[in-house]
Structure 1
């Protein structure tokens, strides 16, 4: 495809519409798709979706994992574009570097769709959040846009999302492969006999609008902490919880995990904070920035098992003797069909950012 200079959205949209990619031609004669989205709505398509707008950020990489291709995507959340740019996801799927990624209306409630921009992309399917209320869904329906709803939640919900993407792209067997990998990893890191040792107390920390935020139960992060042999100190409440530094001091976590999406929150910020530097985690050097693989590991998507493997190594390095670098290479290959280089593994494991943290050099390997 020739270089497209910066121009109006309408021009870019027209060129995309005229260049649908190989997925379109390959689906002639494909079977009708009948499935159910995560809000319980029946979804019927004459054939696998060929032009998908994925408004929730994790939906785009999940579509790619199901199809092992980005050819079906014509629009996505801007977060995916930011992660792809200069990273592994953009190297594996260069198409993502050209896709429209500003499809939400500025100044309105979260995930309010810019219906005009989305309709101009001529999608045969739009993916939207289903648990945030009808106000972000009804404009799509009123515009006559076929919409399937995804939901964020626990591990079972994530698996349902994966199955939905596999159904919509005509690859139900990919769901079995991706979910089978999840089961395999869980079986390896879960130790009901207690041989992994004491569970460290853990907080997953973000900073939002100047406030400290921790993550509670019924979230993928809480599931990951528990599966890897830790105990989430914020698990008595659900979702995201605003807290003070004083509350974190009272909890006194042994491990602090920093949100991968929060670029302004780094391990040095915890070590240098007048209060948080007094936590057991800071004193022991157990403050870690969460890596970003092809996509982020914490939100619900097909890469989550790499987060579980990384955490299990942090919590119980002796009991979990696997080669983390080899696991990353294998996992990325299984999910996306292409492997990272050694240099990419160094970058995605944040060897520099987490340098000096307890055991980190041994965890990430040479």
Structure 2
């Protein structure tokens, strides 16, 4: 009983503090629609920001120039490049993530706003019941247009409209460029791409993967998002031209699998691990256009010679992360793969 009372009292005091901080900042009085379909009032000021999800949310905040506003978020050890660029992220409070969030720890950080994931309804509800305002992020459940709108919404919330518009303009320019280049590829030269995890039956269950493959000029090996594992026999029937694994999974388990040695991609050693920069390039984040460029070059090198991936990567990090990559850092993005 006492613990519940203290939580309610803290929520009441936090609500007063948030209201007291409302002012005449840009965007105040507006509403934006979040990933849960809610109309969310734009705060007058957000100086203290908490995050309870992964899925590129921290990266969105960082490229908008608001990394210093983050006072709580899940650990970022899986993103070493991000920590090199923003070492303070190693020190901020870790309140847990998604439905395993520690509300009491979150309240101690006294955030003006909490960015939550669309998949964690239980955890999000606990945060809201504690009196902390939330905005729901798409995380991995994004299409290109929806993600661009999320950038704009977050820019409005954080008072970084110009930075958000610049990011969206970058997306439009680079994805349009890739579309033009791969549009030259004749239909008979289009390659079938199978996108998977560590083993051949762990087909990706993310709709984003379908956007990524098609946007890079590939043909999706599966016509729809798989539910759970698929059978080896189905993969053998598809016989993809190229297999791409999610970063961190490597390629050895697939190349050495005795069941699939007759696959075209395995015989041709056309099994590749997707890069990771500050975030995975095969998933939705501000860096995603680099992933489209990488895959387009991998699939159609003769048609994408104009893409200098190293130059494009360095320019993105310079402009949006405000960071100069070293040669070693760039090469590290490709794991065991040669840098394109």
Question: Same fold by TM-score, threshold 0.5 exceeded?
Answer: yes
RMSD: 2.4
Q: TM-score w.r.t. structure 1 length?
A: 0.78
CA contact (8 A) 2:99 2:121 kept: no
| Aligned match for 2:108, one of 115, 120, 131 | 120
Structure 1 residues 259 and 51, CA, compared in 2 at 3 Å: closer, same or farther?
Answer: same
| Aligned match for 1:176, one of 161, 165, 169 | 165
CA contact (8 A) 1:53 1:125 kept: yes
| Aligned match for 1:302, one of 265, 272, 286 | 286
Gaps of 5+ in 1: 1-26, 105-109, 356-363
The equivalences for 1:201-212 within 5 A come to: 201-207=192-198, 212=201
CA contact (8 A) 1:246 1:275 kept: no
The equivalences for 1:158-173 within 5 A come to: 158-173=147-162
CA positional deviation for 1:119: 1.2
SS at match of 1:99: coil
Give the whole-Å Cα distance in 2 for the aligned partners of 1:72 and 1:278: 53
Give the whole-Å Cα distance in 2 for the aligned partners of 1:240 and 1:93: 37
CA positional deviation for 1:46: 4.2
Structure 1 residues 31 and 172, CA, compared in 2 at 3 Å: closer, same or farther?
Answer: closer
Residue matched to 1:23: none
Give the whole-Å Cα distance in 2 for the aligned partners of 1:211 and 1:317: 25
Residue matched to 2:9: none
CA contact (8 A) 2:275 2:334 kept: yes
Give the whole-Å Cα distance in 2 for the aligned partners of 1:179 and 1:32: 18
Deviates more, 1:283-292 or 1:269-278: 269-278
SS at match of 1:202: strand
Give the whole-Å Cα distance in 2 for the aligned partners of 1:97 and 1:333: 22
SS at match of 1:213: coil
Residue matched to 1:345: 330
Residue matched to 2:10: none
Gaps of 5+ in 2: 1-21
Give the whole-Å Cα distance in 2 for the aligned partners of 1:99 and 1:59: 15
Give the whole-Å Cα distance in 2 for the aligned partners of 1:100 and 1:281: 45
Structure 1 residues 133 and 94, CA, compared in 2 at 3 Å: closer, same or farther?
Answer: closer
CA contact (8 A) 1:112 1:136 kept: yes
SS at match of 2:325: coil
CA contact (8 A) 2:200 2:254 kept: no
Give the whole-Å Cα distance in 1 for the aligned partners of 2:128 and 2:200: 36
Residue matched to 2:17: none
CA positional deviation for 1:298: 2.3
Give the whole-Å Cα distance in 2 for the aligned partners of 1:83 and 1:340: 18
Confirm whether residue 276 of structure 1 aligns to residue 260 of structure 2: yes
Runs (4+) off by over 4 Å: none
Residue matched to 1:252: 239
Structure 1 residues 240 and 61, CA, compared in 2 at 3 Å: closer, same or farther?
Answer: farther
CA positional deviation for 1:40: 3.1
